[in-house]
Amino acid sequence: MSVAAARPGIREIMAHTLSHGDLTNDPNRETGCDRVAALAWSDALGSALWHIALNHDVSSWKQARAVLAKRLRGDRAEAGIYTAIAEIALREWMDDKCSVCRGRKFVMNEEVKTACIACEATGRRRHSDTERRLLLGVEERVYRRFESLFAAAHSAISNADALCEQQVLRNLGRRRPRGKRSGRRKA
Higher pLDDT, 80 or 71: 71
Estimate to the nearest angstrom the gap between the alpha carbon of 119 and the chain centroid.
20
159 vs 186, residue with greater confidence? 159
Total domains, the chain: 1
Residues 6 or more apart in contact with residue 48 via CB below 8 angstroms:
60, 61, 63, 64, 67
Residue 179 has a pLDDT of 60
Give the pLDDT score at 124.
83
Partner residues linked to 115 by β-bridges: 106
In this prediction the pTM is 0.77
Q: What is the pLDDT of residue 57?
A: 86
Residue 158 lies in a domain: yes
- The average pLDDT across 59-63 equals 92
pLDDT (tens digit, 9 = 90+) per residue, 132-185? 999 988 898 888 888 889 999 999 999 999 999 999 999 998 876 666 555 554
The answer to whether residue 160 is domain-embedded is: yes
Q: Can you give the residue range of the structural domain that contains 82?
A: 10-171
Tell me, yes or no, whether 112 lies in a domain. yes
